[in-house]
Structures are given as C-alpha cells and as structure tokens.
Amino acid sequence: MALTPHNNAQKGDFAKSVLMPGDPLRAKFIAETYLENPQLITGIRNVYGYTGTYQGKRVSVMASGMGNPSIGIYSYELFNFYDVESIIRVGSAGAYHPDLKLFDIIIGQGACTNSNFAAQFRLPGTFAPIADFGLLRKAVDACEAMGARYMVGNLMSSDVFYNDDPEEWKQWRKMGVLGAEMEAAALYMTAARFGKKALAIDTISDIIGTKEETTPEQRQTAFDQMIRIALSVAE
C-alpha cells in the first residue's frame, strides 16, 4: 500500500540522501548513468524515484516536478514519511549575474522568492530560507577539487515563469541575486520546518536578458559536473 498519494515506495526504499532534479527524465538519466544497481522504487504520475549506490554509499534520486508547490509536496513526504535526512536539488537556473556563463554552477546559499509558501507557517515576520551549511561547504570543496566554475549566493525561486513584467529580473540583480529558478525556497523552508538538511545546486541553462540558452536535451544529459558534485555531497 502506498504511504502517500504521490509516492508508492515502501518504508526504507529511499536512502538518507536524495538528489532531486525537476525533470523525471533527468532523474532516470542520473540513476542509470551514475548509480550502481539502480532500482525504480516509485513512478506515480511518471515522477520517477530510484535508489542505488554511488562509490559504495546508498543514494536515491527522485524528480520534484516544476515549482515551489511541487517540490514542497515531494520534499515534505520524503522528510516525514520516508526518513530522508537531506535533499540536494540538482536543477537549472537562468543567470542574472553578468559574470555567469552557460553551464556555470550556482550553489544556493539562500533563496529569495515571490511565493506565498511561507504564509502557512504564520511567522511574525519574513523568513529567510537558507541552505544547510555543511552540505554547502562540501559542495564548494567539490567544485574546487573539480575545477568547476561556480558562484555561491542568493537564488530567486519564482512562482512565475512567463512574467508579465519582463524587466522585473533587473530588480533582483541589483540586490546581488545570482539567478532564477523555481524550487529552492520551498525546499529550504520545508527542510527548516522539519529539522532536515537541504541544498540547491543549479547549472546555468540560459542567460536572462539575452538569447543564450541550452537545449532541452543538454539540460537533461549534459549537467555532468553538477551531478557529480551533488553525489559527492550526499551523505
């Protein structure tokens, strides 16, 4: 019997650390390319989840879907029903910072958002969603060891992809925000709420304000450095 409406894995099927790309096909690619003996453990709504081993340690990978609400559902269930301790988002981001280039990496120290996700917690102020420092430090060390181009700082987790104000991103760039994606803020808040660990690692897939972008095929398969960094961080 499924433990939740969105996941038909059984208790114990997930490792303590889960890599979480947005795209189900990217989850499949990661499992089949990087993990030894990957086993499909859930596939409801074609949101694939796998568990295998990487360099001797047990690791899971599961898609989150797109947006704060979707990753909010899957991270909540992994943390609360499957005893997962850490989730590492491996995704794509659009660059705001002028020094970022295609395939560079952002390690999300924090996540700004225009989402109303935090309202559920009824906090008497504004919550600042941040990554787990231990995971972040490991990711930085892995980037240095691999010679990866990376920046550490704020992400913008937007609930809007097609923004009615196409120039809004410039306001975030003025505040030093590095790039835009759609999931890190909800992941960080959910992890904070339940005393768990989370980190978002994003590869630059397009440069906001220009026509530079990667193809969907590249986004699915070519983010090798980011994936290897995340796997080295998984505990």
Domains of the chain: 17-233 (3.40.50.1580)
C-beta of residue 81 within 8 angstroms of C-beta of residue 40? no
Q: What is the pLDDT of residues 29-60, one digit of tens each?
A: 999 999 999 999 999 999 999 999 999 999 99
Q: What is the pLDDT of residues 69-128, one digit of tens each?
A: 999 999 999 999 999 999 999 999 999 999 999 999 999 999 999 999 999 999 999 999
> What's the token pair of residue 127?
């919550």
Give the integer Cα–Cα distance in Å for 31 and 43. Answer: 14
Q: What is the pLDDT of residues 134-192, one digit of tens each?
A: 999 999 999 999 999 999 999 999 999 999 999 999 999 999 999 999 999 999 999 99
Q: Mean pLDDT, to the nearest integer, of 209-232?
A: 84
Catalytic residue among 13, 132, 206, 224: 206
Give the integer Cα–Cα distance in Å for 233 and 235. Answer: 6
Is 206 among the residues known to form the active site?
yes
Give the integer Cα–Cα distance in Å for 202 and 200. Answer: 6
Residue 221 sits at the vertex; the CA angle it makes with 173 and 66, to the nearest 5 degrees, is: 55
222: pLDDT strictly greater than 80: no
Amino acid, single-letter form, for residue 149:
R
Q: Mean pLDDT, to the nearest integer, of 60-73?
A: 97
Look at residue 215 in the predicted model and tell me its pLDDT.
Answer: 82
Look at residue 3 in the predicted model and tell me its pLDDT.
Answer: 79
